[in-house]
Amino acid sequence: MVQASSSYAPLGRSAAAGILGSAVFGAAVFAGHGANLMVQGAWMAPALFVGGAALALPPLYLSSALSGGQATPAEVAASAQRALGAVSTVLLGLAAPAVFFSVTLRSTLSIVLLAAVMAMVGSAGILTVAVDRWTRETTARALLASTVWCFFAFAVGGRLMVSLAKSAGLFGGEG
């Protein structure tokens, strides 16, 4: 019983690191736009990255299982752990440039630019998991299922990003 709970500890640490790294980046994105938007960025970025992973990973396991793939829940969780760790490191590294652009480009252009960066980093995280699956699966059906999942994950991430932006009042949303 102790072993089962301890095997999930690295995933919990990765999720915590993902939340921290993305929260720092989210706040940095809006540093030049006031405290209210900084707070919104600090919760929106983790919702996007960690929430997106939480939404997209169960379908990855199911697609593998239903297509005869070899992925176990532990392997899918390990893929997520590696991707969250990489994404969080990249976002922490981009926090300082994000503050610079946010402060010097006091326009919607800075938000659009940094949202594009978030989309690219999120896409890299999805591709990290997808490549991991592609290198491990052996059947054409399982490879196809992983590819379909990849497009699904992009759609979920894009939809989540648009929903969060609109709910926060960015780009003419409700706020």
Mean pLDDT confidence for 99-113: 76
pTM of the complete model: 0.76
Grade residue 144 by pLDDT with cuts at 50, 70 and 90: very high
pLDDT at residue 3 above 60?
Answer: no
Q: List pLDDT tens digits, range 55-99.
A: 888 888 888 888 988 888 888 888 888 888 888 888 888 889 888
| Rounded-to-integer distance, Cα 133 and Cα 127, Å | 10
The pLDDT, as a whole number, for residue 5 is: 45
The pLDDT, as a whole number, for residue 168 is: 65
- For the chain, the structural domain boundaries read 2-169
Lookup: tokens for 116: 């594009």
The pLDDT, as a whole number, for residue 60 is: 87
| Rounded-to-integer distance, Cα 104 and Cα 114, Å | 13
Mean pLDDT confidence for 143-164: 87
Mean pLDDT confidence for 25-46: 86
The pLDDT, as a whole number, for residue 11 is: 61
The pLDDT, as a whole number, for residue 82 is: 83
Share of the chain above pLDDT 70, in %: 85
Mean pLDDT confidence for 98-115: 77
Grade residue 151 by pLDDT with cuts at 50, 70 and 90: very high
| Rounded-to-integer distance, Cα 35 and Cα 55, Å | 29
Q: How crowded is residue 38: how many other Cβ atoms within 10 Å of its Cβ?
A: 17
Lookup: tokens for 135: 């290198």
pLDDT at residue 108 above 80?
Answer: no
